[in-house]
Structure 1
Amino acid sequence: MRGYRVRAQKSQLAAGLRVELSPQSIGRMEDGQKVKICTSQIRDLLDLYCVPDPSDERDEIFLLWQEVKDQALAAKIAGTTKGWWQAYTDQYEPHFDHYLGLEAVATHMTTHQVVLLPGLLQTPGYRRAISLAGNPSVSAAAVERRLELAAHRQVRLADPNFRVDILLSEGVLRHTPGGRSVMADQLNRILELMESRPNVSIRAVPLDAGSHVGLLAQAFTLLEFPPLASHLAEPPIVYVEGYEGGLYLERTDMIDRHRRAIVDIRRVALTEDGTKQLVNQIAKEYGA
């Protein structure tokens, strides 16, 4: 960008004032060093530097900018950059670090759960009960940090560009970690999300649904990512978590097999309205 700035006879100070960056930041950017900047700031700089709009020069700059963003996203998906969740590495198993990075950049998540609710839905009471079940001697401070981690993850549900499809065995709704009152609160939270988050779909699979592939596939999560430049296309990933660790499945045949499983599970799942009725019914049983 230095050439454009010099040609327009603008100083680094003038450029910095235009986009609210320091002259030093402008200099680092011109030297190809890492600077936090957004698309609107680049557009403002090009206007300041009198680069015509439209023009081949401007198009080329934005094409390069898109490649930079794509590379940053690909690096995050690959787990080569640090994310907010790494401040909590003492509160989750090592294999889960990669999953949190994937979840943070996915645009579509489909999960099938047969025993526990996914973390994105869990209330503090439910999360606390699960933490204590896994380690009864865990400290109160550690539990609070796990609750912070869960709350931070759930912020993504407010992103309308993040689509979440959740398929739950009825058994998930009937297990009572922490007791009936905790589960009653949890079921009310599910109902609240179903009403307030149009990007979140929750459907239950009744216990009498008969035979379906979900009985064999058990719990898994399919994560899909935004389209990048053609040479940086990121394939979907299936995550399967077990008591001893997690598996990340990327082979096309494995992805296709899980997509077919999702289709079959949806075939036997209740509609969203039917799911709301079931959740309401169980919540009343628990005294909600």
Structure 2
Amino acid sequence: MGLALPLRQLGRHLRDWRLRASMSLEEAAKLLEVGPTTLHRAEKGKNTRIKSYFVERACQLYGVPPGIKDGLVGLAKQASTGALWWHAYGDVIPKDFDVYVGLEACARRLVSYQPNLIPGLLQSADYDRALVERIWPESTPAEWDRRVQIKVHRQHIILRGVEPARLDVVIGEGALRHVVGSPATMAKQLRRMVEVSALHPNISLRVLPFEAGFPGGSAMPAFVVLHFDDDSNEPEEPPVAFLELAVGGMYLEKEDDVRFYTEKYQLIKDASLTEPETMNLLTRVAKEYEQRER
């Protein structure tokens, strides 16, 4: 049986491109020579597998650009493997077809632990630009700007005025101390987090101080648990745990795996500073950076 996650992700894109083409489910199904129920199941990610040639035909019908079409076909191929789904950058799924961003955009709640970096959804443009220039040193300034803009668009899910996603995040104190860009960049970054937290009640931000050690007795990597429902008893789509590694992204769907990271997060959160204490620490460290700039 293929993996549910890539099938659901594929289904979202197929439905989105059908709607962009202004086609009803019945019209598209007829042109694709399948029943409306079959197409509906494909768009919901409820088929056990989906053929690559069907995806190619759908992309042609909906006018999907070649680069995105290759990504969708890659999702179909990945879903048929039945193994842990690794999104190795630039492999089966094209590099610019970012699966995680698609999942993130659909999430209603994100629970995240970031020990060494400011989370992407809270990064300032200057902080992100400093990272981007280090990651892709051979790129042009225009390409750096494009990557920074992608981050800005991602942040819309928690900053929008209508039904923003909830963000529950713990940041390791090391993320405050590792200088990205310059002391001035860090000061602005930390003050921005204080401001965003104050203006958006859907954002819960805490810092795990050095003195808290390793809650649960082990050092945890950065991870995110994405929730797609409204905490109903029977969610249509189960949560997913995502781990970003040097060679790609690892997506965990099994209930036991998601529970493991959820429980680890709670241990980390319980050992962290309270939200008011976190705001005080962020303000204090920001002042320290500002003094270094004088």
Unaligned runs of 5+ in 1: 1-24, 35-67
CA distance in 1, matches of 2:282, 2:233: 43
CA contact (8 A) 1:112 1:219 kept: yes
Are 1:145 and 2:139 counterparts?
Answer: no
Letter of the structure 2 residue corresponding to residue 97 of structure 1: D
Counterpart in 2 of 1:123?
A: 124
TM-fit CA distance, 1:175: 1.1
Give the match for residue 7 of structure 1. Answer: none
Matches within 5 A, 1:142-181: 142-159=143-160, 160-181=163-184
Task: Measure, in 2, the Cα distance between the counterparts of 1:73 and 1:124.
Answer: 35
In the TM superposition, residue 211 of structure 1 has moved relative to its aligned partner by 3.1
Q: 1:190 to 1:135 in 2, by over 3 A?
A: same
What amino acid does structure 2 have at the position aligned with 1:155?
H
What's 1:105 paired with?
A: 106
* Residue 74 of structure 1: how far off its partner (Å): 5.4
Matches within 5 A, 1:236-247: 236-247=239-250
Pick from 17, 23, 26 the counterpart of residue 32 of structure 1.
26
Report Cα offsets for 1:180-235 as digits up to 9, x if no partner: 00111101110111110110111000011133138422210000112699998211
Q: How many residues align?
A: 223
Identical pairs, percent: 34
Give the whole-Å Cα distance in 2 for the aligned partners of 1:95 and 1:239.
Answer: 18
Please name the residue that 2:220 is paired with: 217
TM-score by length of 2: 0.66
| Cross-structure match for 1:53 | none
The residue number in structure 1 matching 2:282 is: 279
Mapped to 2, the partners of 1:226 and 1:74 lie a distance apart of: 16
- Structure 2 unpaired stretches of 5+: 1-21, 29-39, 50-54, 72-88
Q: Cα distance, 1:237 vs. partner? A: 0.5
Which amino acid is the alignment partner of residue 111 of structure 1?
S
Alpha-carbon contact 1:95-1:245 (below 8 Å) kept: no
Query: Hey, what does 2:35 align to over in structure 1?
Result: none
Kindly indicate whether residue 207 of structure 2 is the aligned counterpart of residue 204 of structure 1: yes
- Pick closer, same or farther for the CA change 1:213–1:129 going to 2, 3 Å: farther
1:193 aligned residue: 196
Q: CA deviation at 1:137?
A: 2.3
RMSD between aligned alpha carbons? Answer: 3.6
For 2:212, what is the secondary structure of its paired residue?
coil
Q: Which ranges of 4 or more aligned residues in structure 1 deviate by more than 4 Å?
A: 70-75, 227-232
The CA distance in 2 between the partners of 1:73 and 1:192, in whole Å, is 38
Letter of the 1:260 partner, please give it. E
In the alignment, is residue 135 of structure 1 matched against residue 136 of structure 2? yes
